[in-house]
C-alpha cells in the first residue's frame, strides 16, 4: 500500500477513537505517545451523531445487545464518542509536524470531503459500514488506499466491497480480520481465517484487534497479517466508550516491541545452516571407539558407540561398521574413521 514505507514490516496503527475525553490536548498527547511508542500511524474517526445515525429513542435505536454500551441510544453514544470536526485540521497538522501518518474512518460523504480537504493518505471502512456500498464507492473513487474491516460481513459482502473499489479503478485494498465484540473473546478470533482470506481475496490482510492484550496481534502477525490496528488510550482512567478494550501506552509499546522481535524470528523459509550452526555441529553425535582395541580386533556394540561430539563418522554408518576389524591399535576416545577400518 502507498502509505507503507516498508512493506516488509507490519504496519501498526494506533486507533484513538473516542479516547480523548473531548479534550484536544489529550488527543494530541495520545498522538505523540503513539509516535514515541513506535506506531506507524494514528487513526481517528470522522462522524457526528447526526451523520452516523438519527436522534431517535424508539426500540430500533436503543442499545440492548449485551454490549458495553447497553442502556443508551445510538445517538447518545455517538454524541459522547465523536471527535469534533473542528479538531481535524489541527490534529492532522500536529501528527504531520511530529512525523507520524494520520488518517481516519469516514462515515458519510461529508466526512470524506472533509478528509480529502486535509489530504488524508488513506481511508478506513469500519466493520459496520462494509455494507454501505455507496459510501465505499465514494471513498474508493478518491484513489487512496482503502482499508476495510470485515467484522460483521459475510464472504459475499466482503467480495462486494472489494468489487465496489475495483469498479472505480481502486485496487489498493487491505482487508482487516476483525471480531466485532468489545472486548473480543479469544475463542471468537478465528485467526486461522487470515491466510484463507489472503488466498480467497488476493489482497493483503491485517487485523483490527479488540481483544485484551497482545496475544492475538502476535498470532495474527505469525499468520501473515501485514497491518495491526489497536485502540490506545493514555490512561484507562480517562474513561469513555472504548476505554475497557483499549491499550495503555506502555502496553502498546510492549506489543510493538514484541511484533518487531517476532518479525525477526519469522525470517524466511530457509533450510541452510548459518555459520554459527555449522560450527556448533561439532556437538552433534558421531561414532567413537569407546574401548581400547588391538589391531585385528572386532568392532562391537560395546567398543563403538554413537555419542557426542561430532568428530567421528556419521552415525548412519553404524551398522555398516559393526563386525569389521580395526587396521591398527586404537585407543578409547578415538573418533571412528574409515582409515582405521579393514
Q: Which residues contact 18 (CB under 8 A, 6 or more apart)?
A: 45, 80, 81, 82, 83, 240, 241, 242
Residues above pLDDT 90, as percent of the chain? 77
Q: What is the mean pLDDT of residues 30-50?
A: 95
**Average of pLDDT values for 250-267?**
97
Q: Where are the domains positioned within the chain?
A: 11-47+82-266, 275-340
* pLDDT value at 58 more than 70: yes
Q: What's the fold here for domain 275-340?
A: Type Iii Antifreeze Protein Isoform Hplc 12 (3.90.1210)
Q: How far is 37 from 250, CA to CA, in rounded Å?
A: 8
- For the beta carbon of residue 291, count every other beta carbon within 10 angstroms: 14
Q: Which CATH superfamily is domain 11-47+82-266 in?
A: Aldolase class I (3.20.20.70)
Higher per-residue pLDDT: 66 or 209? 209
Confidence of residue 1 (pLDDT cuts 50, 70, 90): very low
| Main-chain phi, psi angles of 335, to 5 degrees | -65, 140
Q: What is the pLDDT of residue 81?
A: 76
Enter the C-alpha cell of residue 308: 557426542
Q: Is the distance from CB of 174 to CB of 145 less than 8 angstroms?
A: yes
Q: What is the mean pLDDT of the chain?
A: 93
CA distances from residue 61 to 77, 122, 176 in whole angstroms, order as listed: 11, 31, 27
**111-137 confidence digits (pLDDT tens):** 999 999 999 999 999 998 999 999 999
Contact 331, 283 (CB under 8 A): no
pTM here is 0.86
Q: Is 7's pLDDT higher than 80?
A: no
Residue 4 has pLDDT above 60, yes or no: no
- The Cα 252–Cα 34 span in angstroms is 8
Residues 6 or more apart whose Cβ sits within 8 Å of residue 134: none
Please indicate whether the domains covering 11-47+82-266 and 275-340 agree at the CATH topology level.
no
Place of cell 479538531: 87
What are the backbone dihedrals phi and psi of residue 180, each rounded to the nearest 5 degrees, phi first?
-85, 60
Cα separation of 308 and 319, whole Å?
Answer: 18
Confidence band for 279, pLDDT divided at 50, 70 and 90? confident
Q: Which of 50-64, 159-173, 231-245 has the highest mean pLDDT?
A: 159-173
Burial environment of residue 105 by CB neighbours within 10 A (0 to 12, 13 to 18, 19 or more): buried
Q: Give SS3 for 9.
A: coil
Amino acid at each position: 500500500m502507498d502509505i507503507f514505507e516498508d512493506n516488509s514490516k507490519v504496519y501498526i496503527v494506533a486507533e484513538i477513537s473516542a479516547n480523548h475525553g473531548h479534550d484536544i490536548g489529550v488527543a494530541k498527547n495520545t498522538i505523540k505517545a503513539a509516535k514515541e511508542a513506535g506506531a506507524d500511524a494514528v487513526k481517528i474517526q470522522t462522524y457526528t451523531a447526526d451523520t452516523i445515525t438519527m436522534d431517535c429513542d424508539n426500540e430500533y435505536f436503543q442499545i440492548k445487545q449485551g454490549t458495553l454500551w447497553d442502556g443508551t441510544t445510538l445517538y447518545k453514544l455517538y454524541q459522547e464518542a465523536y471527535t469534533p470536526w473542528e479538531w481535524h485540521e489541527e490534529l492532522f497538522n500536529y501528527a504531520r509536524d511530529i512525523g507520524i501518518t494520520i488518517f481516519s474512518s469516514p462515515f458519510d460523504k461529508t466526512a470524506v470531503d472533509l478528509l480529502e480537504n486535509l489530504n488524508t493518505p488513506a481511508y478506513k471502512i469500519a466493520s459496520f459500514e462494509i455494507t454501505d456500498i455507496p459510501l465505499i464507492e465514494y471513498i474508493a473513487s478518491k484513489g487512496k488506499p482503502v482499508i476495510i474491516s470485515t467484522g460483521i460481513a459475510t464472504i459475499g459482502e466482503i467480495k462486494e466491497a472489494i468489487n465496489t473499489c475495483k469498479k472505480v479503478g481502486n485496487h489498493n485494498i487491505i482487508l482487516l480480520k476483525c471480531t466485532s465484540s468489545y472486548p473480543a473473546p479469544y475463542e471468537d478470533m478465528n485467526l486461522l481465517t487470515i491466510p484463507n482470506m489472503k488466498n480467497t481475496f488476493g489482497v493483503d490482510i491485517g487485523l483490527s484487534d479488540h481483544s485484551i492484550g497482545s496475544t492475538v496481534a502476535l498470532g495474527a502477525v505469525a499468520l501473515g497479517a501485514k497491518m495491526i490496528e489497536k485502540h490506545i488510550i493514555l490512561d484507562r482512567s480517562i474513561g469513555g466508550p472504548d476505554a475497557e478494550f483499549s491499550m495503555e501506552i506502555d502496553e502498546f509499546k510492549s506489543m510493538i516491541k514484541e511484533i518487531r522481535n517476532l518479525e525477526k524470528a519469522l525470517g524466511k523459509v530457509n533450510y541452510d545452516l548459518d555459520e554459527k550452526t555449522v560450527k556448533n555441529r561439532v556437538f552433534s553425535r558421531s561414532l567413537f571407539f569407546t574401548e581400547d582395541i588391538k589391531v585385528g580386533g572386532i568392532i562391537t556394540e560395546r567398543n563403538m558407540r554413537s555419542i557426542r561430539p561430532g568428530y567421528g563418522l556419521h552415525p548412519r554408518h553404524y551398522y555398516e561398521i559393526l563386525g569389521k576389524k580395526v587396521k591398527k591399535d586404537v585407543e578409547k576416545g578415538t573418533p571412528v574413521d574409515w582409515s582405521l577400518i579393514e
